[in-house]
Structure 1
Amino acid sequence: MYTSLSSDVVEYCNKCIDHFQTYANSIDAVQLVDGSCAQIFSYCSSLSDRLQEVHTLMSKENFRFYIKVRTALDVQARVIHDELYSVYGDQAPGLSTVERWSKLFREGREELEDDARSGRPISETTPQNIEQIRLLIDDDPYLTIEEIQEETGFSYGTIQRILTTHLNLRKITARYVPKELTDLQRAERVRICKENLEKIQQGTWRLCDIITGDESWFRPKQLGRKSSHAAWIRRGDPPPTVVRQNRPSYGTRGIKFHHDNGKPHVHNNVLAYLESEGLTVVPHPPNSPDLSPCDFWLFDLIKENLPDQSDSQSLHDAVISFMNSLSNEEYKKTFEKWIERMQLCIDNQGDYFEHLMK
């Protein structure tokens, strides 16, 4: 109740501040902005900052207490971060913040509060303050507002206004790529996509005959989601990339089997068995999860909709139940997207293309 109310008030105050700043900057502020406007501006700014400070302070102390207890139990900072993120999502402190506080507690720190600073947080959107935050983001676009606040001493509301209004930034999750492609790999992606598309378009292969599959890790507790890689970017710019750290029935004669080039899939014994069963293997380019329906659609969809489970058996049952709940139309649309993606790969000279998709 308090959190919702304070957030609404902060948003309203920030809008008031922006309107007054626009008005004051567009005319002779000394002559035309009277005392009452100046008082309202000051009050809104103070109330916005104070409410946000109280809300942020409560969250900080709760998070730091948890970090302190888990650190005392000899739990590693990355594990603590994953635990917090699994519950609080993007509201949880960043990994660097957890690591810093875990280190402080291991060294004997007892206090949960920030070290005292002289004066109240700076709440001015001056050119110098804007430039300071811009340089911080240029150096590390994955910083959270909390981390910028600790670095600069600015108020939460000031940082938020500078990021969104003055720097025109928004936070977006980085897109994963398996590795940086070489020219040879890009050419191979184009060649295979052209060959596959030609067979489908000529009717040599029918989509209803293609079975696609892959593997992924599913855990009872959903940890380490992609949004932990959220970064500040300018509006309209593509998301940054993060290189992934590895990892009708008439018999089988007409079936086309599509999977990636994982070692279990391309082992000689596996290929020999598939051939003996009359299964045609659909070629798949190396390092191309963006061309695998399981990777670009199914796995993320399951994980986004899968609640925490108590054990591996309930996890298995929940995954199967969710997959069975998807309509045939959803699967059909995914194969149509697969064809669209192969064409995009060709048009983009074999490079990754997901940032070009609408």
Structure 2
Amino acid sequence: MDYEQRINMKFCFKLHKSAKETHEMLKLVYGDAAVTMKTVYKWFERFRNGCESIKDEERSGRPSTSKTQANVERVSEMMRSNRRLTIREISEDLNISYGSVQSILTTDLNMRRASANFVPHVLTVEQKQQRLSISLELRDRAASDSSFLRHVITGGETWVCGYGPETKVQISQWKSLSSPHAKKRRQSRCNIKVMLIVFFDLGGIVRAEFVSRNTTVNSEYYKGLLERLRNDVRRKRPEKWANGFILHHDSDPCHTSLLVRQFLSNENITVCPHPPYSRDLAPCDFWLFPKVKMTVKGKCFESIQDMEAATTAQLETLTKEDFQNCFRKWQERWDKCIQSEGEYFEGD
């Protein structure tokens, strides 16, 4: 607004208005935001001396003695050797001011301090190559065969707890500057929990079941689960039963056991490849389970039956469009994995 008023002052000066008249007109237009009378006189004096610019005059300032090219190189070398150094540590080591070090880092070296991203696993070169090659294979397969994803049924398992702590976003609330911060007692996860196993495709949930207590999900249980899934496919997805479906699950030991592989081979069920330590490439883990759990976070269930009922109700709210969006995100994640050359890409 100050720049706008300078334009108006110059306009009034060209019309041979006095400084007083100009100030009164500025007050009439801008009210309390109008510049002072002293400021108007100062600019009128500059215009009378032949100045046409309405920008502030450049100030030479005091020359910097710390921000030299030599210091920039020294800071850069220290950053290459240890990126965890603080500005104060660099300042004390090089005997230059805190502000100069900060300016060198942010302006000259274009660096920003950021916390490290937590990842599920430190991937080896071989594991990165597996993630890359499988993502390339799936992307090319989907590109060459438009019906590929329509045949896929993906699944996974997760624990549903009787109480899940709320996220920071969920416990945040609006407050005025004078009101105190809201307080909430820290609570840990409840010991009451049940395992949920879900299989779904582009059309929605094909099978969802809770594992009864004191039951271990081993190769024998998983084989029985796949038999139940096969019957559900015949009943709910007759087109997949007629044309065959592709099963996608992670590389859990019970999923890749000899018993399960023999069953899949005998039933002519094709398995979609999945790289190890890659929950970010499993639709259940990156979309379905977080979405279901988010709605029950902060709620305390007194029994397993209540937990199961709430979780089932949330699964039923998901629409066909939601599942189609999930499969689109899955394809996008293949591309991101390829771009990152097999590295974890979330948080970048």
Per the normalisation by structure 1, the TM-score is 0.43
Higher helix share: 1
Q: Highest CA radius of gyration, 1 or 2?
A: 2
